[in-house]
Amino acid sequence: MQLDLFGAPEEPLSKPVVAPAEYASQLTAIARQLPKHIYFGTSSWAFEGWRGLVFAQEAPKTKLSRHGLAAYAQHPLFRAVGLDRTYYAPIAASDFADYAAMVPDMFRFLVKAHELCTLPLFRGGGRYAQRRGEANAYFLDASYATDHVVGPCVEGLQGKAGPLLFQFSPLSVEAVGGPQRFAEQLYAFLDALPRGPLYAVELRNEDLFSSSYLDALIATGAVHCFNVHPAMPPIHEQYQAAKVAASQALIIRWMLHPNYRYEAARQRYEPFDRLVDEDPENRQTIAKMCLDTAVSARPAVIIVNNKAEGSSPLTIQKLAETLVRMQ
């Protein structure tokens, strides 16, 4: 979580509070060979273990959260980032604008929508412990999403806005009325949102990954977010089934290694400074999916999590090398 991102500055803003690492010429050479419409990035950026990979010096997580994005955006292969903070609470247009000011014009943000948009029932524990079992009145509420998610994002990021992602965490299929009813609700929601932004939908329930779901995306101009996650079919199977729901753009989130859940992966991979469990099969599949976009010049945004192989900057380097070899 990227919290308290814009607190009081620890040093004058005219100084490089967090400096970028010295990147090998190899990375710049790879970057020059990548198609311009391919946007690689990581899921957030405030990781202390990235010293030497992304950041020049050691720095605490709070300092990286506040000041690390500008250094992150200087990495030759990073043209995007996943903005996760917005999943936990809406942020103002001015906060989005502050992010945008830290990155170059070609950079894009994948923004997670606030979880109230995609949570039908409040679960126990965490932020909503006192509301366990209650129905969420803002679930697939287009008015709430327009006012608190879409509007501030578009106003603040402007041309640097990438996909706006509605992530549905694992949920009770019965609670949403089954796959068909879910698809109908999703269609009505997406159809009522403002035109212009690219909307992406990520599922964590294989049962909801239906033909009706894909029809809802196609009819509204939204896209499926292909994800590497144990709750979903393998990504190559998702692509075979949902390629038609990626005509506007290819959105991929490589979240987890197939053998681990989040907490186990975190414990195994921290401090995220090296590749621990390489996943060449998914790497090859994702590179092929990216290569497919070269024919149509569709934009492709690929966000990689540290828990995919151990270190998302190194995973992106391997992925970029694979893609360049395949061209």
Give the C-alpha distances (Å, rounded to integers) separating 146 from 40, 87, 141, 249, 251: 27, 15, 9, 22, 21
Evaluate whether residue 17 is within a structural domain. no
Q: How far apart are alpha carbons 290 and 316 in whole angstroms?
A: 13
Give tens-digit pLDDT for 29-68.
999 999 999 999 999 999 999 999 999 998 999 999 999 9
What is the pLDDT averaged over residues 1-27? 63
Is omega for the bond preceding 271 within 30 degrees of 0, making it cis?
yes
Q: How far apart are alpha carbons 58 and 62 in whole angstroms?
A: 12
Give tens-digit pLDDT for 258-302.
999 999 999 999 999 999 999 999 999 999 999 998 767 789 999
Which amino acid, residue 290?
C
Q: How much is the pLDDT for 295?
A: 66
Determine contact, residues 231/206, Cβ cutoff 8 Å: yes
Evaluate whether residue 4 is within a structural domain. no
Give tens-digit pLDDT for 71-120.
999 999 999 999 999 999 999 999 999 999 999 999 999 999 999 999 99
Evaluate whether residue 206 is within a structural domain. no
Q: How far apart are alpha carbons 129 and 136 in whole angstroms?
A: 13
Range of 70's domain?
25-167+192-200+219-326
The neighbour count for residue 78, using CB atoms within 10 Å, is: 22
Evaluate whether residue 145 is within a structural domain. yes
What is the pLDDT averaged over residues 138-153? 98
- pLDDT of residue 196 exceeding 70, the answer is yes
* Largest interatomic CA distance in the chain: 55
Strand, helix or coil at 154?
helix
Evaluate whether residue 212 is within a structural domain. no
Q: How much is the pLDDT for 175?
A: 87
Give 80's strand partners.
41, 108
Give tens-digit pLDDT for 109-130.
999 999 999 999 887 666 776 7
Evaluate whether residue 11 is within a structural domain. no
pTM of the model: 0.92
Give tens-digit pLDDT for 152-189.
999 999 999 999 999 999 998 998 999 999 999 999 99
Give tens-digit pLDDT for 201-228.
999 999 999 999 999 999 999 999 999 9
Q: How much is the pLDDT for 8?
A: 39
Determine contact, residues 304/41, Cβ cutoff 8 Å: yes
For residue 113, the domain's CATH number is 3.20.20.410
> H-type helices in 196-271, by residue range?
211-220, 235-242, 262-269
Q: How much is the pLDDT for 15?
A: 56
Q: How much is the pLDDT for 308?
A: 98
Q: How much is the pLDDT for 209?
A: 97
Q: How much is the pLDDT for 14?
A: 47
Structure token pair of residue 75: 């990495």
Q: How far apart are alpha carbons 22 and 39 in whole angstroms?
A: 21
Output the DSSP codes for 134-147. Answer: -B-TTTT-HHHHII
Q: How much is the pLDDT for 3?
A: 38
Evaluate whether residue 177 is within a structural domain. no
Structural domain tally of the chain? 1
Output the DSSP codes for 38-104. Answer: EEEEEE----GGGBTTTBSS---HHHHHHHHHHHHTTSTT--EEEE-HHHHS---HHHHHHHHHTS-
Evaluate whether residue 181 is within a structural domain. no
Determine contact, residues 269/305, Cβ cutoff 8 Å: no
Extended strands (E) in 192-258: 199-202, 223-228, 250-254
